[in-house]
Amino acid sequence: MKTENAKDIRIEPQSLQQPLAELFGFHSFRPHQEDIVRAVLAGGDAFAVMPTGGGKSLCYQLPAYIMDGVCVVVSPLISLMKDQVDAACANGLRAATLNSTTTPSERTEISAALRGGELDLLYVSPERFNSEGFCDWIKRLHISFFAIDEAHCISEWGHDFRPDYLALSRIVDEFPGIPVAAFTATATPRVSEEIVLRLGLRKPHLVRASFNRPNLFYRVAPKDNLDRQLVDFLRGHEDESGIIYRTTRKNVEATAEMLCGKGINALAYHAGLPDETRAEVQDAFRRDECQVIVATIAFGMGIDKSNVRFVVHGDLPKNIEGYYQETGRAGRDGEAAECALFFGRQDIVQLSRFASCVEDENAREVAMQQLQRMINFSQHDGCRRVALLGYFGEEFPVENCGSCDFCMGEVEREDATVPAQKALSAVVRTGGRFGAGHITDILTGANTERIRQQGHDQLPTYGVGTDKDKSYWRRVMDSLLAQGLTRIQDPQYPTHSITEEGWKVLRGEREVEMLKQAPVSKKGRRGKASADGPYSIGLFTKLRELRTDLARAGHVPPYVIFSDRTLHDMARHFPDTPDKLLEMNGVGKRKLAVYGTRFLAAIKEYISSNPHESCV
């Protein structure tokens, strides 16, 4: 638990700039933040859909600082609460968390602080909120308002439904005069409506911010030797933190082992590991002691790490909501980052198998629909950003986003009508009873025992594709499946059969195009950073080393001290006085008092050794 002395100031709602600068070191609000803060200060409910990195936590931390009483924050994961408490306390807020790791003595200390009005924020899990006697206990406290983070978890139509979130619908009835503010980064209009309904929000101030993350660069490519693709990608992101998602635990461990063999500092994370191991891996990543986490989707929601510079999906995600949320863990500080997705035919087969095993018929139908939308996204013939935003009902105002592989000319269209007809013909002539690998062998004239046993070396289509290698024909088969020209009847036996649209191709009634990745530089791509202008790489490196040293001494993650964006600002402007340091984005009065002297000394020392860089 961490507290400070009782609040010594109270700010009128009309004057928010002073606490914004003093607490967070920000000199202006991001879009929608001020309106949400004012709605909460006025005593009303609020519901906001804002992208990761959009500044949701400020929307409840700032009013919690200003208002009398304690804000009760419901947050889904212990690790996430710990990060949030560390960051809040570093900014000068008084925050604590009650969860299963809280010791009896810590609970006693927190209870005393709450009774004495010495906390601004109390973080609890939905399970804790739903525990016996908890609501009766907090009714004795002076609660300013409730904040519900990751509110999409209450929706059964959301991608991360958690039954314990349903208990939060009691808040309005149990605490009728207390405002409720709910936040999520991932919700379609349908999910948003369900959240408001389930929580019983009373004429809430509604915000649906843009889902666009201009600092993220999106790349989508078919798998073609994934290990090599991952290593090539990481060579463009040396000394940067990132996450690689794989669908299965087996693939997580294999990929992490492969990367370590290539000299890349990578660790594996999945739900099958012991709790202690997972905690150690997560802490190593938070503290910048591990460059790459290879994980299943069990990893991520609890990460508040702001300096994740890339997120890679080594397999096709099962839905766009999950993909958006997972890519959103990159570039939370507003600085440029990259998101890459590699997919293949086997991903579609495997995810179809998973979806078909869902017992509830309605849920199974939803899962299949969501998967098809994800497949459509992976095969989208145009701007990645346009397709992604369109899923959430948002139109992107320009045709070329300038920050995805398609818009940067890294994806080429090629006419694949004749190859598609050859492949479809092979599917028909084999009775739709064989998988893509066997079809590829037929087309390339492979001399396999299975082909000879089936007599497929006598087919007219045998060897008609010898002018191309097997990787090309695998890409053709992937494209046929993704475009709905073939289908897999039974996910347990991934054999291809032709669809009605496929017959149109065979009859020459429609054409087929296939997307092809053009050769690109191995240097990592970047989205559009929120703060433009060059900065001193040398000074940034020195400040990052200082940040790491201070973080280790204080037992907190480095980004809790200052974000990469703040260090970039310092390395861009070379502040040499406390007042100038306060002008840097993310430097508030508390952080100036705690860290200012050390950072100013480091900047002064760097200028002395590198006088030619004092003005970049």
Report the percentage of the chain scoring pLDDT > 70: 92
DSSP secondary structure string, 126-185? Answer: HHHHTSTTHHHHHTTS-EEEEEESSGGGG-TTSTT--GGGGGGGGHHHHSTTS-EEEEES
Angle formed at CA 425 by CA 420 and CA 430, multiple of 5 degrees = 130
Q: Please state at what angle helix 436-443 crosses helix 417-429, rounded to 10 degrees.
A: 110
Mean pLDDT, rounded, of the chain: 88
10 Å CB burial of residue 94 (0-12, 13-18, 19+) is buried
Q: Which domains are assigned to the chain? A: 17-208 (3.40.50.300), 216-410 (3.40.50.300), 414-517 (1.10.10.10), 537-613 (1.10.150.80)
Residue 149: phi, psi to the nearest 5?
-90, 155
- CA pair distance 472, 419, nearest whole angstrom: 10
pLDDT of residue 42: 94
- CA pair distance 160, 151, nearest whole angstrom: 10
- With left for phi above 0 and alpha for psi between -120 and 50, is residue 358 left, alpha or beta? beta
- Judge whether residue 1 has pLDDT over 50: no
370-414 pLDDT tens trace:
888 898 888 887 899 999 999 888 889 888 899 999 999 888 888
pLDDT of residue 65: 95
226-250 pLDDT tens trace:
999 999 999 999 889 999 999 999 9
Which of 76 and 546 is assigned the larger pLDDT?
A: 546
Take residue 185 and report the two structure tokens written for it: 């980064």
- Judge whether residue 73 has pLDDT over 80: yes
Q: Please state at what angle helix 537-554 crosses helix 564-573, rounded to 10 degrees.
A: 140
Query: Given pLDDT bands bounded at 50, 70 and 90, which one contains residue 510?
Result: very high
Tokens 């994800």 map to which residue?
374
Take residue 21 and report the two structure tokens written for it: 């600068």
- Judge whether residue 614 has pLDDT over 80: no
pLDDT of residue 299: 66
566-601 pLDDT tens trace:
999 999 999 999 999 999 999 999 999 999 999 999
pLDDT of residue 82: 81
Please tell me the pTM assigned to this model: 0.78
pLDDT of residue 495: 84
- Judge whether residue 353 has pLDDT over 90: no
Angle formed at CA 289 by CA 288 and CA 291, multiple of 5 degrees = 70
- CA pair distance 377, 320, nearest whole angstrom: 8
15-68 pLDDT tens trace:
798 899 989 999 899 899 999 999 999 999 999 999 877 789 999 999 999 999
- Judge whether residue 530 has pLDDT over 70: no
pLDDT of residue 298: 62
Take residue 410 and report the two structure tokens written for it: 């890294």
pLDDT of residue 528: 58
Mapped to the 3 state alphabet, what secondary structure does 234-290 carry?
A: HHCCCCCEEEEECCCHHHHHHHHHHHHHCCCCEEEECCCCCHHHHHHHHHHHHCCCC
pLDDT of residue 303: 66
Work out the average pLDDT over 151-180: 86
Work out the average pLDDT over 117-126: 94
Work out the average pLDDT over 357-365: 81
